[in-house]
Amino acid sequence: MAAILQRAAAPVREWVGTVTDNRPIMGDSWLVTFTAPDGFVGHIKPGHFVNVLPRGPLSFDPILRRPYSVYGVDAERNTMTLLIRPYGRGGQWIVEQQPGAQMNILGILGNHYEIAPRSTHLLMVAGGVGAAPLRMLSQQATAAGKNVTYLLGARTADQLLEASELPNAVEYVIATEDGTAGHQGFVTDMVAPYLQWADQVFTCGPTPMMAALRNVVMHNRFGKGPQVQISVERTMACGVGACLGCVVETRKGMKASCIDGPVFDMESVVWQ
């Protein structure tokens, strides 16, 4: 496996999608579904993201697009779905868009997770809305006959992903910080026993969670395995490699996470 994962060979274009569905999930988040250009969603792989312009055509505020991972696609309807937790104005505008509304989208952006052909046991470690790209990855993996364990951590039970959102074949294990469901504590507390079982680990979530995961892996793994792929969440201004606002320090130099990432091999990243 290359230290820096491959760039996406997926098309990048700007389009206006029509919202087809919008429903609440995970307590304070929404699943927003919208149309894509014909045949487009077939190119999307787990880990890819899109940049949404969070305003209508008659407004210039906010100026910048907001990046969101793809949560799921429907090839028959040619739609894609994003899982959005509205931290501020951009996210709030997006979750207020009702069916029929139009949204300007730039994508497909970034690289994607890569399941090695020989891997049979896959561990996913998600924190909060980091659940999104790993949900799509678990769909792809179970469809390919892989064994998937999906660990999700949230602050409280209301903020967990419903089990029905994941494929039936997934072993779904939860942690909440307040102990209202599953293990009381952090999702990373549950990782160590799986490290001998897993051929690969895939993670997405807040940076402190990924740093904690790295510590657990470094202290509990056997030899060099398993390989860990992380999706980093940097603030992004352009999303296309022009502003260098999203750089990540790697062993091969500074990399723009919007084009060389957001998925990196954990070992390739320089951790402070």
Ligand X SMILES: Cc1cc2nc3c(=O)[nH]c(=O)nc-3n(C[C@H](O)[C@H](O)[C@H](O)COP(=O)(O)OP(=O)(O)OC[C@H]3O[C@@H](n4cnc5c(N)ncnc54)[C@H](O)[C@@H]3O)c2cc1C
By CB under 6 A, name the binding residues for ligand X.
49, 66-69, 83-91, 129, 132, 233-234, 236, 262
Residues 104-143 that bind ligand FES (CB under 6 A): none
| One character per residue 225-254, x = contact with ligand FES (rule: CB under 6 A) | -----------xxxx-xxxxxx--------
Q: Which of ligand FES, ligand X, none sits in contact with 72, Cβ below 5 to 8 A by type?
A: none
Question: Which residues 6+ apart lie within 8 Å of 171 measured at CB?
Answer: 147, 148, 149, 150
185 belongs to the binding site for ligand FES (CB under 6 A)? no
Question: Which residues 6+ apart lie within 8 Å of 181 measured at CB?
Answer: 156, 157, 160, 174
Q: Which of ligand FES, ligand X, none sits in contact with 262, Cβ below 5 to 8 A by type?
A: ligand X
The span from the CA of 106 to the CA of 240, in Å, is 10
Shortest spacing between CB 228 and ligand FES, in angstroms: 23
Shortest spacing between CB 239 and ligand FES, in angstroms: 5
Which CB atom, from 47 or from 195, has the smaller least distance to ligand X?
47
Which CB atom, from 169 or from 243, has the smaller least distance to ligand FES?
243
9 belongs to the binding site for ligand FES (CB under 6 A)? no
Shortest spacing between CB 236 and ligand X, in angstroms: 5
Shortest spacing between CB 91 and ligand X, in angstroms: 3
- Give contact residues for ligand FES (rule: CB under 6 A): 236-239, 241-246, 256, 258
